[in-house]
Amino acid sequence: MVKEMTFYSTKQAAEILHISPEVLTRKCRNKDITYKRSGRKYLFSDKDINDFIITGGKYD
């Protein structure tokens, strides 16, 4: 059985990460966090959020 991937909006992901949506948007623009796009909206999977937490927000 394949598990369906859950995506979070900027507001939802920001709440999970305990940062403001504005800060999260800035991190997207700076490529500090991976995300998907749907039109003009940023979407974040569980993996995107967990990877950001694990790396402490630092990507090489």
For residue 19, the enclosing domain spans 7-54
Q: Does residue 44 lie in a domain region?
A: yes
Predicted model pTM = 0.84
Q: Does residue 37 lie in a domain region?
A: yes
Query: Per residue in 36-48, is it b (16+ CB within 10 Å) or e — as a string?
Result: eeeeeebbbbeeb
pLDDT in tens, 16-55: 999 999 999 999 999 999 999 999 999 999 999 999 999 8
Q: Are 42 and 30 in contact (CB under 8 A)?
A: no
Q: Does residue 20 lie in a domain region?
A: yes
Does position 3 have pLDDT exceeding 80, yes or no? no
Q: Does residue 60 lie in a domain region?
A: no
What distance in Å separates the CA atoms of residue 28 and residue 52, rounded to the nearest whole number?
11
Q: Does residue 18 lie in a domain region?
A: yes
Q: Does residue 1 lie in a domain region?
A: no
Q: Does residue 59 lie in a domain region?
A: no
- What's the domain count of the chain? 1
